[in-house]
Each structure stands twice: as C-alpha cells, then as structure tokens.
Structure 1
Amino acid sequence: MTHTIPQDPIMLLSFTNTQLRDHFNNLTEFCKAYMIDETHIIQKLQLVDYTYNENTNQFI
C-alpha cells in the first residue's frame, strides 16, 4: 500500500512529527513505512528551517 504525505512543508512538518511521536521510533522507520526517501523529507523540512533531532525523534 502506498501512502501519500503532504507536499506543503508546514503540513509535512506537522504530519511527520505526529507520525514520529505516535507510531515510529525514528525517521528511518517512518520513511520505510511511507516508502519515501529520507533525504527528501530532510531537505523539504530544511526549507522551513527544521532539522531532525534523533534524541527527541522530531523535527525542531
């Protein structure tokens, strides 16, 4: 099953952080489940000045 994720960076931020908080132990697991390139998520959220923090498992 292919999941779609929001394309708008702010919506993507909210969606991703919620998924990380509620369902995944890390960004790699999230990306595998949604079949999306981890680099794509990181770069898209860097556009709005957010970076992934492994210690908190969220983009901050």
Structure 2
Amino acid sequence: MELPEDPMMLFSMVNMKLRDCYSSLDELCEDMNVDKDSLIRKLNSVGFEYSQENNKFW
C-alpha cells in the first residue's frame, strides 16, 4: 500500500493506521516498508509532530 503524497491525507492515514493497526510508528514503518525519518520530516514540514506517548501525530 502506498502512502498519499498530500500531507493532510498522509497525516490522516498514518494516524488512522497508528490508532487501528500499530502500537508504534516503528512498527508501522517496518510493516509498510516506509522510511521513518522521511515520513517524520514530511509531516514536520507541515507542522505535525509525532508523540510516542500518544502514538499519533499532532
């Protein structure tokens, strides 16, 4: 499954996956074969930060 290019769609999809399917961002990235640093940079560039404690981007 490919991740969306649009940052807002990406934000929504990643948070949905984290909520419903994965207990951590590491687990999501490993399972979906996604570069974690790249994903974080892309979402950080539009103002979202990952909270490990809450397991979601804000």
Q: Same fold (TM over 0.5)?
A: yes
Q: Identity of paired residues, percent?
A: 36
What is the distance in 2 between the residues matched to 1:7 and 1:35? 16
Q: Scaled by the length of structure 1, what TM-score is found?
A: 0.93
Unaligned runs of 5+ in 1: none
**2:16 corresponding residue in structure 1:** 18
What is the distance in 1 between the residues matched to 2:54 and 2:38? 20
Amino acid at match of 1:31: C
**2:55 corresponding residue in structure 1:** 57
**1:27 corresponding residue in structure 2:** 25
Counting matched residue pairs gives 58
Q: Scaled by the length of structure 2, what TM-score is found?
A: 0.96
Runs (4+) off by over 6 Å: none
Q: How far has the Cα of 1:9 moved from its partner?
A: 0.6
What is the distance in 2 between the residues matched to 1:17 and 1:51? 11
Unaligned runs of 5+ in 2: none
What is the distance in 2 between the residues matched to 1:7 and 1:29? 21
